[in-house]
């Protein structure tokens, strides 16, 4: 996956998106609406200014629908919605992540064709509430997602003829590898994501996707073990 | 020097030092005046009972004969109760010995001599302040009917009914409402008094000279004017001359005006007071509870948090400055107070020192959030404060002000987006965990002392057999130096205070919780 990251908008959301996405060793393009150009953009970022109402401006960005990921992070939901619609009409298969500020707008953005919607306030309110009711969970989630440390959540696509090909889940000691397996997409059973509850002993084949939580180097070691 | 003055001063110091005296006084104070004191209720019921029985006797006495012993009981028992209550109330109203000590120390400081007469004057002035309060006057009048020499005084038993106002809060707040509209009500009274005066005199002039047999004197015509202007119109006195009828027609019109004026004053003042009364009740209700969570700000985020907290069954109260939003919160069934969270008043009403455990600053303005956080922390540094913030620089300032947790919505979006990048499946898992909408949830299980898990190896707990994924163990969750142990090995030994962080189906997790008890 070597596609570009395209962030629309450089307001309060776009800024934070840029901060986290620019650390991923990928080409990041920031696009802003020329009408709402914000002069406080730091000088090292050179944003592309377009008029989001013009399709020509968007096609001029040279988006590769198969590889690139687009983030709609304009400050106004109306603009995001408009963007999602224009992008979807231009490129059918494009992956779009949109930021929404309410459950209701999340629904609209999903309807418009956004692949995934980050419901900002929902996530924030969850955090506030979890802090009260489930402090340990909050701290664990902090470690995995919000803090910048080794621990991360990742997905592994099993290669063909991997070292664990055709094995059953119960035959593999993930713990030994320092990995906690959370969910799996077993291609034999369709594209549906299922959480691991040890009820079904999935058979692992090439193309299956494992969702794991692990330390960075353990993860790398595990991936190279798969390929061995 | 054995003067009475020295004795008084000494005695005052003695009282001040005596814990027994002070605790007795506090007890009576609570019983008589403190609405939050649990036993005050019983005292109030008792007093209402005494008053009602006394009034009942008065009514029965009109036509039937009351047995002598009952009359005696009414006379001695009720009077004693009232007199004792009156004296106790006067006693707890203020601390005489403190006045004495204050005066004495002031005199010492300025090396003046302390005169017994000025001292007594001060004390008397202080108590006189109590005697002249309206409720104390009513109390005093209610004692009077015990003097049987004057028959008229019997009617004053009804003042005992007024005394009941003291014991029922709703009635006192009714009077308070009227008090707030003092100016308007006085205007109204003067105005209607003026009209009654004019109309009464006019009718007397027109019909008092034997034209109308019902109007014998000025009192009759004033009575007629009041009955007419209030639109009651008994009809026992009615004008007979055309002039009198014209006067009647005029004052009926003014009467309608005055009555609607009065109604509007009272209604509007009630609707103004209603929210305050409601909030008073909320505050009173909450001040009895412990570990309340306070949500400051009922904007978009505040609403979402309130909804979630209600679902989780956490006791919380919303403080919102904006009247409309506070009203909205109330309409949604939450406990809401319209108040300024940046001031001390509302927090001390809610008893921040003992009853508040968490404060969430959720307004959309960072500066206001900091203001609230500092306000809360300065009142009680032990309250857990978390704040919403949209800027890193502000976040630093918040941490400097000892805010326990700062949450930046935009930051969360950024983090989540970074997880998404290239890994859409992992992101989906993350979303469903963060949202907690599905049956699959992330939860924690606390190991309590002497529970099933305490001291056991992880292997022995057999978490996997319960169809739950163990992500890790959080050690010392409640303290500052908590530590998240990711993916602990099989011979990891659990101990009390640990929290298992798991992912699994809701039922599976609750099964595991039951097992771990």
d(CA B328, CA B336): 9
CA distance B301 to chain A (A): 6
Cα–Cα nearest to B375, from B415, B403, B395, B411: B403
Residue A146 within a domain? no
For residue A43, the domain's CATH number is 3.40.50.720
More confident residue, B411 or B386: B386
The answer to whether position A141 is within a domain reads: no
Contact A180 B408 (CB under 8 A): no
How far B323 CA lies from chain A's nearest CA (Å)?
A: 23
Q: How confident is the model over B198-212, as pLDDT tens digits?
A: 999 999 999 888 888
The arithmetic mean of pLDDT across residues B382-410, rounded, is 86
Give the angle B102-B3-B98 at the CA atoms, nearest 5°.
20
**pLDDT score recorded for residue B222:** 93
**Cβ–Cβ below 8 Å for A121 and B415:** no
Is A158 in the same domain as A116? no
- Are B417 and A71 in contact (CB < 8 Å)? yes
Q: In angstroms, what is the C-alpha Rg of chain B?
A: 35
Q: How far is A191 from chain B (nearest CA, A)?
A: 11
Closest among B347, B348, B303, B344 to B322, alpha carbons compared: B303
Q: Which of A106, A124, A142 is the last residue of a domain?
A: A124
**How many C-beta atoms surround the C-beta of residue B115 within 10 A?**
12
d(CA B464, CA A173): 13
Q: Structural domain of residue A222, as residue ranges?
A: 152-227
- State whether A81 and A38 are in the same domain: yes
Q: Is pLDDT at B194 greater than 90 in this prediction?
A: yes
Of A86, A107, A124, the domain-final residue: A124
Beta bridge pairs of residue B402: none
A144 CA to chain B: closest CA distance, Å?
Answer: 10
With a CB-CB cutoff of 8 Å, which residues 27-86 of chain A face chain B? 69, 71, 73
- A127, A178, A213 member nearest B412 (Cβ): A127
Nearest to A198 among B464, B489, B490 (CB): B464
Residue A117 in contact with residue A97, Cβ under 8 Å? yes
Identity of the residue in A118, A178, A215 whose CB atom sits nearest the CB atom of B416:
A118
B49 Cα to chain A: minimum distance (Å): 47
Q: What is the pLDDT of residue B353?
A: 81
Q: What stretch of H or E contains B503?
A: strand B499-505
For B381, residues 6+ apart whose C-beta sits below 8 A from its C-beta are B402
Using an 8 Å CB-CB cutoff, list chain B residues near A128: 301, 305, 308, 360, 362, 386, 388, 407
Burial class (CB in 10 A: 0-12, 13-18, 19+), A146: middle
A74, part of any domain: yes
Q: Are residues A120 and A156 in the same domain?
A: no
| CB of B79 closer than 8 Å to CB of B54 | no
- Residue ranges and CATH numbers for the domains of chain B are 4-167 (no CATH), 182-273 (1.10.287.70), 287-407 (3.40.50.720), 439-516 (3.30.70.1450)
Determine whether the interchain pair A213/B486 forms a contact, defined as Cβ–Cβ distance below 8 Å.
Answer: yes
Give the tens place of pLDDT for each residue, B446-456: 888 888 888 88
pLDDT mean across residues, chain B? 83
pLDDT confidence tier of residue B249, bands split at 50, 70 and 90: very high
User: How far off is chain B from A105, nearest CA to CA, in Å?
Assistant: 12
pLDDT at B19 over 80: yes
DSSP state of B115: P
A12 and A119 co-located in one domain: yes
- Considering the domain architecture, whether residues A105 and A211 belong to the same structural domain is answered as no
Sign of CA dihedral B303, B309, B312, B314: negative
Give residue B245's pLDDT: 92
B29 to chain A, closest Cα gap in Å: 38
A187 vs B197: CA distance, rounded Å: 97
| Residue A139, in any domain of the structure | no
Provide the pLDDT confidence category of residue B193 given band limits of 50, 70 and 90: very high
Closest CA to B359 of B397, B392, B404: B404
CB contact under 8 A, B469 and A102: no
Looking at residue B197, its pLDDT comes to 94
Cβ–Cβ gap A193/B429 under 8 Å: yes
Q: Supply the DSSP string of B58-114, one letter for each residue.
A: HHHHHHSPPPHHHHHHIIIIIHHHHHHHHHHHHHHHS-HHHHHHHHHHHHHHTTPPP
Residue A69 lies in a domain: yes
Q: Give residue B148's pLDDT.
A: 59
Q: What is the band of B169 on the pLDDT scale with cuts at 50, 70, 90?
A: low
A112 and A197 inside one domain: no
- What is the average per-residue pLDDT within B103-126? 81
A172 CB-near residues (< 8 Å, 6+ apart): A164, A204
B300, B363 Cβ separation under 8 angstroms: no
Contacts of B418 in chain A (CB under 8 A): 20-21, 23-24
Among residues A74, A108, A124, which one ends one of the domains? A124
Distance CA A222, CA B307 (A): 42
List chain A residues with CB under 8 Å of B294: none
- Domain-located, residue A167: yes
Q: Is A155 on the interface with B (CB under 8 A)?
A: yes
Contacts of B491 (CB under 8 A, 6+ apart): B457, B458, B459
Q: Are residues A119 and A162 in the same domain?
A: no
Three-state DSSP state, A3: coil
Query: Residue A148 has what pLDDT?
Result: 67
**Hey, is the C-beta of A176 within 8 angstroms of any chain B C-beta?**
no
Picking from B312, B419, B465, the nearest residue to A153 by CB comes out as B419
User: Are A82 and A170 part of one and the same domain?
Assistant: no
- Cβ within 8 Å, pair B300-A101: yes
Whole-number pLDDT of residue B339: 86
Of A13, A26, A209, the CB nearest to B413: A13
pLDDT tens across B323-370, in order? 889 888 888 888 888 888 888 888 888 888 888 888 999 988 888 999
| Alpha carbon distance B217, B234 (integer Å) | 18
Residues 457-516 of B with CB under 8 A from A: 464-465, 467-472, 474, 477-478, 482, 484, 486-487, 489-490, 499, 501, 503-505, 508
Please tell me the distance from the alpha carbon of residue B304 to that of residue B407, in angstroms, as a whole number. Answer: 15
Q: Rounded to an integer, what distance in angstroms lies between the CA atom of residue A159 and that of residue A101?
A: 38
Judging by DSSP bridges, how do beta strands A179-185 and A193-195 pair with one another? antiparallel
CA-closest candidate to residue A34, choices A12, A10, A68, A14: A10
- What is residue B154's predicted lDDT score, i.e. its pLDDT? 65
What phi and psi values does residue B84 have, to the nearest 5 degrees?
-60, -45
Which residues, 6+ apart, have CB-to-CB distance to B165 below 8 Å? B135, B138, B171, B172, B175
Query: Rounded to an integer, what distance in angstroms lies between the CA atom of residue A225 and that of residue A165?
Result: 12
Contact B422 A126 (CB under 8 A): no
φ, ψ for residue A157 (rounded to 5)?
Answer: -90, 120
Number of domains present in the structure of chain A:
2
Q: A24-59 as b/e, with b when 16 or more CB fall inside 10 Å?
A: eebebbbbbbeeeeeeebeeeeebeebebeeeebbe
Interface of A with B in 199-228 (CB under 8 A): 199, 209, 211, 213-215
Query: Of the candidates A133, A151, A185, which has its C-beta nearest B486's C-beta?
Result: A151
Per residue of chain A (228 residues), what is the pLDDT tens digit?
Answer: 467 888 888 887 788 888 878 777 778 888 888 776 666 677 777 788 888 888 888 888 888 878 888 888 888 888 889 989 988 888 888 888 888 877 788 888 888 888 888 888 888 888 888 888 888 888 888 777 766 677 888 888 888 888 888 888 888 888 888 888 888 888 888 788 888 877 778 888 888 888 888 888 888 888 888 887
B58 has pLDDT over 90: no
Judgement on whether residues A80 and A189 belong to the same structural domain of the protein? no
Identify the CA nearest to B512 among candidates B443, B435, B440, B450: B443
The pLDDT score that the predictor gives to residue B482 is 76
Give me the phi and psi of B387, to 5 degrees please. Answer: -135, 150
The CATH number for A212's domain is: 3.30.70.1450
pLDDT at A118: 83
Q: Is A12 on the interface with B (CB under 8 A)?
A: yes
- Indicate whether A112 and A168 sit together in one domain: no
- From the candidates B301, B410, B411, which should be mutated to test the interface with A, based on the most A CB atoms within 10 A? B410
Residue from the list B426, B472, B501 with its beta carbon closest to the beta carbon of A155? B426
* A213 and A103 within one domain: no
The answer, yes or no, to whether residue B167 has pLDDT greater than 70, is no
Beta-carbon separation of B469 and A180 below 8 A: yes
B237 in Cβ contact with B223 (< 8 Å): yes
Q: Which residues between 290 and 329 in chain B have a beta carbon less than 8 angstroms from any beta carbon of chain A?
A: 293, 300-301, 304-305, 307-309, 312, 314
User: Strand, helix or coil at B320?
Assistant: strand
Q: Check residue A1 and give its pLDDT.
A: 47
| B301 burial via Cβ count (<10 Å: 0-12, 13-18, 19+) | buried
Q: Pick the closest to residue B276 from B342, B323, B318, B315 (CA basis).
A: B323
Domain membership flag for residue A157: yes
Q: Which of residues 107-126 of A touch B (CB under 8 A)?
A: 115-116, 118-126
Q: What contacts B263, CB < 8 A, 6 or more positions away?
A: none
Q: Is the pLDDT of residue B80 over 70?
A: yes
CB pairs under 8 A between A and B: 209
Q: Check if the beta carbon of residue B283 is closer than 8 Å to that of residue B316.
A: no
- Banded pLDDT at B219 (limits 50, 70, 90): very high
Say whether pLDDT at B480 is over 70.
no
Residue A130 lies in a domain: no
| Weakest-pLDDT range from A11-25, A73-87, B108-122, B145-159 | B145-159
Q: Of B157 and B461, which is predicted with more confidence?
A: B461
- Shared-domain flag, residues A159 and A112: no
Closest CA to B203 of B181, B229, B167: B229
**On the CB side of B28, how many CA atoms lie within 13 Å of its CA?**
16
User: Residues B314-326: pLDDT tens digits?
Assistant: 888 899 988 889 8
- Rounded CA separation B261/B188 (Å): 8
Name which residue leads in pLDDT, B120 or B165. Answer: B120
Q: What is the C-alpha to C-alpha distance for residues B228 and B234, in angstroms, rounded to an integer?
A: 8
């Amino acid at each position: 996956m070597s596609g570009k990251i395209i962030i629309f908008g450089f307001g309060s959301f776009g800024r934070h998106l840029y901060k986290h996405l620019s650390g991923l060793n990928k080409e990041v393009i920031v696009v802003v609406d020329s009408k709402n150009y914000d002069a406080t953009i730091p000088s090292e970022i050179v944003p592309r200014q377009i008029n989001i109402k013009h399709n020509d401006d968007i096609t001029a960005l040279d988006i590769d629908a198969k590889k690139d990921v687009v983030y709609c992070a304009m400050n106004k939901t109306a603009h995001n919605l408009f963007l999602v619609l224009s992008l979807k009409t231009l490129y059918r298969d494009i992956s779009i992540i949109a930021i929404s500020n309410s459950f209701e707008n999340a629904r609209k953005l999903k309807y418009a064709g956004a692949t995934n919607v980050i419901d900002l306030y929902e996530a924030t309110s969850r955090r506030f509430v979890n802090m009260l009711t489930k402090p340990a969970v909050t701290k664990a989630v902090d470690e995995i997602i919000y803090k910048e440390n080794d621990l991360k959540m990742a997905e592994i696509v099993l290669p063909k003829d991997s070292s664990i090909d055709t094995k059953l889940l119960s035959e593999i000691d993930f713990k030994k590898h320092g990995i906690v397996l959370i969910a799996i997409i077993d291609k034999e059973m369709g594209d549906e994501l299922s959480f691991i509850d040890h009820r079904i002993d999935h058979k692992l084949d090439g193309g299956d996707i494992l969702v794991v939580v692990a330390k960075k180097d353990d993860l790398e070691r595990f991936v190279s073990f798969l390929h061995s | 020097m054995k003067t009475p003055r020295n004795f008084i001063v000494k005695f005052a110091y003695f009282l001040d030092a005596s814990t027994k005296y002070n605790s007795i006084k506090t007890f009576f104070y609570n019983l008589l005046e403190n609405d939050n004191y649990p036993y005050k209720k019983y005292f109030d019921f008792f007093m209402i009972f005494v008053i009602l029985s006394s009034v009942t006797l008065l009514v029965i006495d009109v036509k039937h004969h009351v047995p002598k012993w009952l009359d005696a009981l009414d006379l001695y028992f009720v009077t004693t109760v009232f007199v004792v209550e009156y004296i106790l109330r006067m006693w707890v109203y203020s601390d005489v010995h403190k006045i004495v000590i204050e005066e004495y120390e002031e005199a010492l400081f300025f090396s003046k001599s302390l005169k017994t007469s000025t001292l007594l004057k001060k004390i008397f002035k202080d108590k006189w302040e109590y005697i002249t309060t309206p409720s104390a006057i009513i109390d005093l009048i209610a004692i009077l009917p015990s003097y049987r020499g004057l028959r008229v005084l019997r009617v004053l038993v009804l003042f005992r009914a007024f005394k009941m106002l003291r014991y029922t809060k709703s009635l006192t707040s009714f009077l308070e409402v009227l008090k707030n509209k003092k100016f308007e009500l006085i205007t109204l009274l003067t105005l209607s008094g003026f009209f009654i005066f004019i109309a009464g005199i006019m009718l007397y002039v027109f019909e008092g000279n034997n034209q109308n047999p019902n109007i014998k004197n000025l009192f009759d015509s004033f009575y007629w004017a009041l009955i007419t202007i209030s639109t009651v119109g008994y009809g026992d006195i009615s004008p007979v001359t055309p002039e009198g009828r014209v006067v009647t027609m005029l004052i009926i019109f003014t009467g309608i005006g005055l009555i609607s004026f009065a109604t509007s004053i009272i209604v509007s003042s009630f609707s103004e007071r209603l929210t305050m009364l409601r909030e008073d009740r909320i505050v009173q209700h909450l001040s009895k509870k412990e570990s309340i969570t306070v949500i400051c700000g009922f904007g978009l985020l505040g609403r979402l948090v309130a909804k979630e907290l209600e679902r989780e069954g956490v006791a919380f109260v919303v403080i919102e400055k904006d009247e409309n939003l506070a009203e909205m919160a109330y309409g949604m069934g939450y406990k809401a107070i319209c108040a300024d969270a940046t001031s001390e008043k509302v927090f001390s009403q809610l008893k921040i020192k003992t009853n508040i455990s968490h404060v969430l600053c959720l307004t959309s303005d960072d500066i206001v959030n900091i203001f609230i956080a500092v306000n809360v922390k300065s009142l009680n540094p032990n309250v857990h404060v978390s704040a919403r913030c949209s800027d890193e620089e502000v976040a630093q300032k918040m941490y400097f002000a000892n805010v326990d947790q700062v949450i930046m919505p935009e930051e969360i979006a950024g983090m989540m987006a970074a997880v998404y990048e290239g890994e859409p499946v992992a992101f989906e898992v993350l979303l469903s965990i963060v949202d907690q909408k599905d049956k699959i949830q992330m939860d924690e299980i606390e190991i309590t002392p002497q529970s099933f898990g305490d001291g056991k190896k992880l292997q022995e707990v057999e978490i996997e057999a319960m169809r739950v994924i163990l992500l890790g163990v959080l050690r010392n969750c409640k303290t500052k130096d908590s530590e998240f142990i990711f993916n602990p090995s099989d011979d990891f030994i659990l101990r009390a205070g640990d929290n298992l962080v798991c992912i699994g189906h809701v039922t599976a997790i609750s099964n595991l919780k039951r097992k771990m008890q």
